[in-house]
Structure 1
Amino acid sequence: MSRIAGVLRRTFGLVREHVGTDQMGNKYYSVPEQKTWTGRVIHAKRMVEAANPTEYEYIEGSIPIEWDAWIRGRRKEPPSIEELLKNESYRVQIKLKAKEVEEKDLALQAKEYREGLVATPAKTLAKGHASSTSFGKQELSEEPSTAGNTFEPGSWMPNPKK
């Protein structure tokens, strides 16, 4: 059988073996090491045929982590359906636990604020904009300031030295 497969590979080009499909519809293939009809050796490859082939529609998470590890050669065997389902349920549990911990932390923080154990965050009241020359000043000074397009060269003279 391998002799026939070798003849077919050399005649028709690369032969890829379907390894699996994920829940999003992506198909994964393995191309074993083979020789072309010219005798050139083609190394083994792993590839994915995306369910959504247009590049601009790709979003992070379009390929599950387990399949990504197989494609990049970080694992030898492709993931099984049981493994994918187990890992997905584990990820959901971790997200729920993280949400619970965050809610408990916010409740504890609110309790500490009410009891006076922790100082409440300072609330500042700023008048004007920080880039303004009069920011934080009670009175407007007579010192020169630029006012964009109303600046007139030579209209201000410095105070004489004392």
Structure 2
Amino acid sequence: MSKLFARIVGYFGNRNLVGVDKAGNRYFTRKEEIDVKEKRWVLFRGEEDSTSIPVEWICWLNGQRKIAPTPEEIMELEARRERVRQNVARLKKEEEEEKRAKEGNARKTSISGKVGGPDLKSFIRQFPDALEGGKVKEASDAMDGTRNSKERATEKAETEQESSEPTGSGASFRPGTWQPPS
């Protein structure tokens, strides 16, 4: 029993208070006589919440820092963190203002009607309809009223004769036999 009592008294009598953080948590250290290694621990104020420990103290507890953080260092780091928070808030505000300005410009151009869309008639004329076999061009020409039916028939006959595409389908088709005209 005396050994247990001596160990308890030695444990509490041999500890050194290293510092206190902003939340009121107290940090202690003691030298182990057997291991010659320094033991570090924290006594939480109130509820044991490991997320309430500042990063500097976590580094000290884990042995990543040899010296415990000083109050001046902690105050300097807190001021730096606050500046970073303010800068982040300012940047978010500027981004939102830029986004609103861009949206406002887009709305103005769409409302004024000056934004021209694609010319669909000229776009459709580029591609003959597969189902109608090239009648889209004829239909669009008829809509324009620029040509008569005789001119259209002549042009259609010329395009069919000048075509270098292979003709034939079904049983008469043989792969690899078509050669381009020379």
TM-score range (shorter-chain normalised) is: 0.5 to 0.7
State the 1:95 CA deviation: 0.3
* Residue of structure 1 equivalent to 2:58: 68
- The count of residues paired between Structure 1 and Structure 2 equals 100
Q: 1:49 aligns with which of 10, 30, 43?
A: 43
Residues 10, 69 of structure 1: alpha-carbon distance in 2 compared, 3 angstrom cutoff: same
Tell me the alpha carbon deviations over residues 30-80 of structure 1, each in whole angstroms, 9 at most, x when there is no partner: 111213xxxxx474210001112x44xx262x1111111101111100000
Matching of residue 17 in structure 1 with residue 11 in structure 2? no
What is the rounded CA distance, in whole Å, between the counterparts of 1:47 and 1:73 in structure 2? 11
Give the superposed CA RMSD. Answer: 2.3
Q: Which SS does the other structure have where 1:25 is aligned? A: coil
* Inter-CA distance 27–59: structure 2 relative to 1 (3 Å threshold): closer
TM-score (norm 2): 0.50
Whose radius of gyration is greater, 1 or 2?
A: 2
Give the TM-score normalised by structure 1. 0.55
1:89 lines up with 2:79 in the alignment: yes
CA contact (8 A) 1:34 1:44 kept: no
Q: 1:76 to 1:51 in 2, by over 3 A?
A: same
Rate the CA distance shift 1:106–1:42 in 2: closer, same or farther, 3 A.
same
Higher relative contact order (CA 8 A, sep 6+): 1
Matched position secondary structure for 1:30: strand
Q: Can you give the 5+ residue segments of structure 1 that lack an aligned partner in the other structure?
A: 1-8, 36-40, 118-162
Runs of 4+ in 1 over 2 A off after TM superposition: 9-14, 41-44
| 1:80 and 2:63 aligned | no
Equivalent in 96, 101, 113 of residue 106 of structure 1: 96
